Amino acid sequence: MTTAVEQPAALERQSFPANGERARGFDLLRVPLLGRFLRWRGSRLALQTPLFGLSLMMIAHAFFGPDIAPKNLAALLTWVHFRGLVVVVILLAGNLFCMACPFLVMRDLARRWITPRWEWPRSLRNKWPSVALFVAVLFVYELFDLFSSPFWTGVLIVLYFGLATLVDLLFRRASFCKYLCPVGQFNFLSSTMAPLEVSVRDASICQSCQSKDCIRGVQIALPSRDGVTGLNMELPVIQRGCELALFQPRKVDNLDCTFCLDCVYACPHDNVGIVARLPSERLTHSGPRSGLGTIERRPDFTALITVFTFGALLNAFAMISPVYALEQAVAQATGLRVEWPILSGLFAFALIVEPAVLLGAAAFVTRWWSGTREGVLPLVKRFSRSLIPIGFGVWLAHYAFHFLTGFLTVIPVFQNAVRESFGTALLGKPMWQLGGLPEAVVFPIEVGFLGLGLIGSWAATWTITGEVATSRRNAAFLPWAAVHLTLFVVAVWIMTQPMDMRGTFLGG
Ligand code: SF4
Ligand code: SF4
């Protein structure tokens, strides 16, 4: 006999549905073969295992392979192929990297013997820790030129595995994914632009559902001493509910969703699918979201979106030649001989001063023109969601550049790794001449991605203006549209600058 137990009781008190009647169209889980594979409970491990094996290979190559980044699997796959594929796959489908995340393989294996005993600290149940880690990764990436260092890239991968495993062996549920993982936060925000969403198929079924297994999980029922079955961490779980605390009938969008499909396996009514929707359609939802609250009132979410968007420009800006001239000029003017204080200044300007000025000015003008009584800070929090499309567009354009201009370079690097490991060219002589698409072909694609991002941000802004200034929507729209246009123009300028040739093929 089985029954549902566990998970935060507060979630059960939520009324629903917020999703409404939807999900009548395309459903990935109903596609022949692929849908059947995904509905199989072992599918996540089947997807994770090859990536876990590849990660081990990358770690070995980082420490024992060539020290030239474009010829090393760790540096090449991490900074060219992985990043490029993540954003392209999100654009075409959804958060499939988190679905196949190799960092959780060791934790899931270890949890067979070790049961985490603690809840994640209440004071840290927000996005601030992941904002700090997001900035730290961006900073370390620039300071130590990780793109050109196989060794330090290997160290980063090992640290990532270690941290993910340690945190999730100490704390229950998916604490690392929800509160810490910078890659996860990147994927969560980006996948608001995805055309697919894990969602209920029929809201009316949830209305009458008694078990709510999608959130609570399914355990073997053992009667307790007083005859009442209650929360009991010791009972064997036969199927987890959502470890990210997303209750399906009230879940909105892909934020915090790892596409792990635990809710699909747990739902006794086969009522959860991976359904089609318009990209960014649910970004402008206002009001509470399951597991997240009201994001347009959360300063930590505003900070995360700001770092995501302005960090995209900063990361792209740090790739081009003018940044070296700027650093030189600052060094000469200040007499500084080490990079970290100059880089800190650049980060402080790009991630604090610049957004504070731009977003603060847009909110101030919105308040002034539209006549809304909402304060400047609440307006910034409300409209910050509109930055995600243009931010994603910048990441997409940047990563697509490296991926599309260098996607074939992985072939000779693999050939070379096999030749060096086995002492014979089992996969043939490395074809070092392979590269990717010419830059002239890729540039219009980059501009296209940026243009899509701009249109997405404008569309989101227009919807949000309805929340604050129904009679003077134009007045509320224009300041934010100007901010998005500024970001677009800066991004196009960056893409036209000579790039540092990091991560691209250097020749045999
Ligand atoms: S278990 Fe299934 S039917 Fe019940 S609330 Fe969750 S998604 Fe709806
Ligand atoms: S269980 Fe939670 S995180 Fe996993 S797919 Fe379902 S909603 Fe997303």
Closest ligand 1 atom to 200 CA? 7
Length of the chain as a residue count: 508
Give the residue, by CA position, lying nearest to ligand 2 atom 3: 257
Closest ligand 2 atom to 214 CA? 1
For 337, other C-beta atoms within 10 Å of its C-beta total: 8
Domain ranges of the chain: 2-276, 295-496
Q: At how many degrees (to 10) do helices 473-496 and 299-317 cross?
A: 30
The ligand whose atoms approach the alpha carbon of 94 most closely is 2
Q: Are 69 and 503 in contact (CB under 8 A)?
A: yes
Residue ranges around ligand 1 (CB below 6 Å): 200, 205-206, 209, 211-214, 248-249, 267, 269, 271-272
pTM (2 d.p.): 0.90
pLDDT tens track for 331-363: 888 888 888 999 999 999 999 999 999 999 999
Amino acid identity, position 412? P
8 by DSSP, 3-state: which? coil
Per-residue pLDDT band for 327 (boundaries 50, 70, 90) equals confident
Beta pairing class for 218-220 and 237-239: antiparallel
Closest ligand 1 atom to 266 CA? 1
For residue 118, what are the β-bridge partners?
A: 171
Q: Are 51 and 385 in contact (CB under 8 A)?
A: no
pLDDT tens track for 488-503: 999 999 999 887 643 3
- Choice from 96, 99, 242 to test ligand 2 binding pocket (greatest atom count within 8 A of CB): 242
Q: Note the pLDDT of residue 507.
A: 34
User: Residue 5: is its pLDDT beyond 60?
Assistant: no
User: Residue 266: is its pLDDT beyond 90?
Assistant: yes
Per-residue pLDDT band for 223 (boundaries 50, 70, 90) equals low
Distance, in Å, from the CA atom of 81 to the CA atom of 403, rounded to the nearest integer, reads 6
Amino acid identity, position 428? G
Give the residue, by CA position, lying nearest to ligand 1 atom 4: 212
Residue ranges around ligand 2 (CB below 6 Å): 198, 242, 244, 246, 251, 257-263
The ligand whose atoms approach the alpha carbon of 11 most closely is 1
Q: Note the pLDDT of residue 422.
A: 81
**Share of residues in the chain with pLDDT > 70 (%):** 90
H or E segment to which residue 72 belongs: none
Cα of 40 to ligand 1 centre, how many Å?
18
Q: Note the pLDDT of residue 22.
A: 52
Q: Does 323 or 123 have the greater pLDDT score?
A: 123
pLDDT tens track for 356-413: 999 999 999 999 999 888 999 999 999 999 999 999 999 999 999 999 998 899 999 8
**pLDDT-wise least confident of 199-213, 284-298, 299-313, 487-501:** 487-501
The ligand whose atoms approach the alpha carbon of 44 most closely is 2
Please name the residue that has the structure tokens 């990091």.
Answer: 502
Give the residue, by CA position, lying nearest to ligand 2 atom 4: 260
